[in-house]
Structure 1
Amino acid sequence: MDTHAVRDVAAQLGRAYETGKPIAPIIEDHPGATVTDAYRVQQEQVREWTSRGEVVKGHKVGLSSAAMQEQMGVDQPDYGHLLSGMFHLEQQPIPGDRFLQPRIEPEIAFVLGRPLSGPGVTAADAVRAVDFVLPALEIVDSRIQDWKISIVDTIADNASSGGVVLGSKPTALSAVDLRTTGCTLHRNGSVVATGAGGAVLGSPLNALVWLANTVGPLGIDLEPGHVVLPGSMTRAFPVSHGDTFVANMGELGSVTAVFDTP
């Protein structure tokens, strides 16, 4: 994709945010688009958002579990940016009309205490960089019609990012085994899924390492205070107005997302 095409696709996605109307899959009009092209579109949008006063508060790793790759029909992880306007308070009503096709995913969020810059980051480096972890619910959303996404579509669309709800109980890495940490996801009081941290690339920590080593060569550093979402422990579930989702993660505590009624 040339620069004009990159800017045009970014503008189309921007209009989808504003109008609430998804666009056709990007890959239909740009069948030769590459993953590199898609990240250029994503970066174009990030530049626009930050020019309006948004602040990058972290990153997400998407499609890092076999369940999510199978559900979305892709075969590799991706990453997106978390902007300041994406964060919502636990237990406080989330405006459902700000999303187009929202789904929810339970995750273990990393909060960094030290900078982490690839390439060459090891698991030991990642452990030293993490200040604490929190239970989290990610609201994924797509500006692509009916979630008909290829890897190019979701990357260009900021890895299908929508919003984040963080729990309020910080836990040190030394106090938990992320691989065996279990999760029970409830929707309106009923269990809809169970999962474990090991579903995320063997351990959520591996997703953090992958992220640092992937974005480092692009000149992107993970900074102290940044939140990193490593990927979902279960498949994603559709969200409707009035829904309440609770993810219980054992010793990590729980996190609740409440969506407003129309």
Structure 2
Amino acid sequence: MLDPDIIDRIAEELAEADRTHSVIPRITARYPDATIEDSYAIQGIWRDKNVAAGRRMVGRKIGLTSKAMQQATGITEPDYGVMFEDTVYASGSDIRFDEFSNVRIEVELAFMLKSPLRGPDCTLEDALAAIDYAVPALEVLNSHIELEGRTIVDTISDNAAYGAMVLGDVHMRPDEIDLRWVPGVLSRNGEIEETGVAAGVLGHPATGVAWLADKLHQHGAHLEAGEIILAGSFTRPMWVSRGDEVRCDYREMGEITCRFV
């Protein structure tokens, strides 16, 4: 693993990049021997400093769970990051474009947990039993590390590129809908840009929740009741600019809209 002083220094670089909405050079270009465990250690220091500063964690995001996203990034292993309360928006919100770097949108489902979920060896059935309801969600990607040539180590260190989440209004229990076939039709300024179905996420979007419980077990943690889990995109990321109007149609799960100002 990297020296603890280097891990601390990178975490501070990323915190400063978050404050200034800037981008730093790739970690793996400077430290080619950095490992995935190093990247989660960097993310953990950044997370703990935010919590100490008064931000409240509300859940976790899972990323790189679909072929669409893996092909878009060149990274084939899922990852996870944390989500804070002040990054959650309601559908219809205006979102400040300048708060983010390398701004893109992904189409996802989010899950609210009604009971804790602990690894190891969690199954899809375990995850579904722990889920209270599903809700459509858009993820705003926020990358503080240069994109070209980045690896899973760079992405995890940067809180899995999470910036914000826009939640829809329709809540459905897993027994009320076949979650695999929830569609997403993503539009920018009235033009359809991306489409997909939730089965693109590991065959079933809740499979990622089971994966996350097992991954957290490796790091001595577990999922708590009341956490929101953003399950991963089933479309490629869509670039957005200031002034863009974004809409996503999830059919029976309603629509999400937002605008970047």
Range of TM-score over shorter length: over 0.9
- Pairwise CA distance, 1:39: 0.3
**CA RMSD for the aligned pairs?**
1.1
Distance in 2 separating the partners of 1:93 and 1:76: 33
* Deviation for aligned residue 1:86: 1.2
Corresponding residue of 1:10: 11
CA distance in 2, matches of 1:107, 1:147: 24
- Give the corresponding residue for 1:83: 84
Please give the residue correspondences for 1:191-230 in structure 2 after superposition, counting only pairs within 5 Å.
191-230=192-231
Aligned pairs for 1:26-175 (under 5 A) are 26-146=27-147, 148-175=149-176
Distance in 1, Cα, partners of 2:144 & 2:256: 26
Identity level (%): 37
CA contact (8 A) 2:194 2:238 kept: no
> For this pair of structures, how many residues does the alignment match?
260
Superimposed CA distance per residue, residues 69-121 of structure 1 (whole angstroms, 9 cap, x where no aligned partner): 11111111101111112112221211111101110001011111111111122
2:260 aligned partner: 259
8 Å Cα contact 2:91-2:257 kept in structure 1: yes
Task: Give ranges in structure 1 of 5+ residues lacking alignment.
Answer: none
Shift of residue 59 of structure 1? Answer: 0.6
CA distance in 1, matches of 2:24, 2:149: 10
TM-score, normalised to structure 2, is: 0.97
Task: State the one-letter code of the partner of 1:205.
Answer: A
- Determine helix, strand or coil for the equivalent of 1:132: strand
- Per mean C-alpha deviation after superposition, the further-off stretch among 128-137 and 211-220 is 211-220
Alpha-carbon contact 2:115-2:131 (below 8 Å) kept: yes
- Structure 1 distance, partners of 2:72, 2:173, is 32
Counterpart amino acid of residue 251 in structure 2: G
Q: Is the 8 A contact 1:137 1:256 kept in 2?
A: no
Shift of 1:146: 3.8
- Matched AA of 2:107: P
Unmatched runs of 5 consecutive residues or more in structure 2: none
- Residue 11 of structure 1 aligns with an amino acid whose one-letter code is E
The aligned amino acid for 2:123 is: T
Aligned-pair CA distance for 1:15:
1.2
Cα distance in 1, alignment partners of residues 148 and 108 from structure 2: 21
Length-normalised TM-score, structure 1: 0.96
CA contact (8 A) 1:115 1:222 kept: yes
State the one-letter code of the partner of 1:197. A
Alpha-carbon spacing, 1:127–1:146, altered in 2? closer, same or farther (3 Å): closer
Cα deviation per residue 1:122-158 (whole Å; 9 max; x = unaligned)? 2221111101010100001100124542110000000
CA contact (8 A) 1:104 1:137 kept: yes
Report how far residue 258 of structure 1 moved.
1.6
Alpha-carbon separation, structure 1, partners of 2:118 and 2:148: 32
AA aligned opposite 1:179: R
What is the rounded CA distance, in whole Å, between the counterparts of 2:182 and 2:18 in structure 1?
Answer: 35
